[in-house]
Amino acid sequence: MAALKVCCTCCLKGDILNDSHAEIVAKRSFQRYLLHQMGLAVSHQQCSIFIPGTETGKWKLKPNIIFVFFSSHTPCGDASIIPISEPENQLCKPVTGDDAAGQSAKCGSNHDHLGPEDKRKSEKMASNHIIKRMRTDDDGCFSVITEDLAVQQISVKREDDTNPKSCQCSAEMQTANKETGLGGPKVVDVYRTGAKCVPGELGDARVPGVGYHCVGLLRVKPGRGDRTCSMSCSDKLARWNVLGCQGALLMHFLQYPVYLSAIVVGKCPYSQEAMRRAIIERCQHISFLPDGFLTQEVKLLQSDLRFEHSRQAIQEVQTNSKTKLVPCSAAISWSAVPEQPLDVTSDGFRQGTTKKRIGSHQSRSKICKVELFHTFQKLVTSISQEDLPDTLRMKTLETYWDYKKAALNYQEAWKVLRSQALLGWVKNAKEYLHFT
């Protein structure tokens, strides 16, 4: 799995698959399936999963149809900040005060590899507890994991009123090596996530041990090189849990969002508390959502099935190997559609694309923005004006952004969610959405 940042004219045309993490590839493939099913519905074929709703041009799922999301690994970002107890057979050794730079030890997965600059910063932070950050919540608090596996609110005091980008972390951040209950295992560290805090918000403390990360924060995808603009999978799952998985375009035709009934994670480092915090609790308090939208109590489950090609599985087999494991830049997607169900991309383009063909129709993944948009446009043109929903009837809409913006209830729900829970969400510049 890989997150990509590619700067070219293709980004402006929606031609490239910018986020190749498995969760995002699966969701886009699911949207492709939903578009196909909607096409069956509007052509009045009984095999569709949709039935007519109560409004003109609107559809809803047939009764008793549910969708379960399976991921072989914990989503990157907040859900991957998992407490490590002392008896665990750890992928990462505990970070102690002896690690002067506050850097993590070599990890099997989901952790930061600090460069020299970061090491110096971490060393300074660990020694004087001064953490440079962009801003805190309105109440001046942020969260860290404590040894009882709960999320603890830690007070933050501004260094001075003239510099809102600086704050001081209280000593409560580190109450290391307390036991959880009577005779319970000690929580000695947390699994690292490589996902970086979004610009303009509070950042990680990076102090040794359980206080290394601050939890509940929005993050962008991990990756080598420049910071990406793609939000972490934990953040995107939290968004889908309120807005649905169908996206803005399909919401034109749907009476209700399409929600997941359950999220199942394979055998890997996992914490029910972290998953619930990241996907449900961060958005649970929001109010005044438009009709049909809600904060889902999605079921969060773990399977005992392990992906045989995961980093952890490979490392256990190659215990003595010094070969560095690097994420693959390819992504394989499959969707239950009749035409070209299988789609393989590499570095955001269809596998086999040469430099000369970048930007051509042949270079596109079937799940990139422009391809999904064209499928949606075909759906719209196949329906007579009187049978279209109100948001599309007699409207002059041209670009991808025009159609997204016209999905009024979806945009209102997203505005409420962003303003009340996901304030620091990194939004795409509009010029990246004005393609046809």
CA dihedral 282→161→213→125, nearest 10 degrees, is: 180
Dist. CA 286–CA 421, nearest whole Å: 7
Helices (H), 99-170: 116-128
Q: Are 31 and 24 in contact (CB under 8 A)?
A: no
Of 14, 51, 67, nearest to 246 by C-alpha is 67
Q: Are 2 and 19 in contact (CB under 8 A)?
A: no
Q: Could you say which of 23, 147, 201, 371 is catalytic?
A: 23
23 flagged as catalytic? yes
Please report the sign of the dihedral spanned by the C-alpha atoms of residue 279, residue 284, residue 286, residue 287: positive
Dist. CA 181–CA 272, nearest whole Å: 18
Dist. CA 311–CA 269, nearest whole Å: 12
Of 294, 266, 234, nearest to 417 by C-alpha is 294
Residue that has been written with the tokens 């950050």 in this structure: 133
Q: Are 198 and 424 in contact (CB under 8 A)?
A: yes
Dist. CA 358–CA 372, nearest whole Å: 18
Q: What's the full length of the chain, in residues? A: 436
In sequence order, what E strands does 64-206 have?
Answer: 68-71, 83-85, 130-132, 141-145, 151-158, 166-169, 187-190, 196-197
**What residue type is 209 in one-letter code?**
G
Dist. CA 53–CA 48, nearest whole Å: 14
Catalytic residue positions? 23
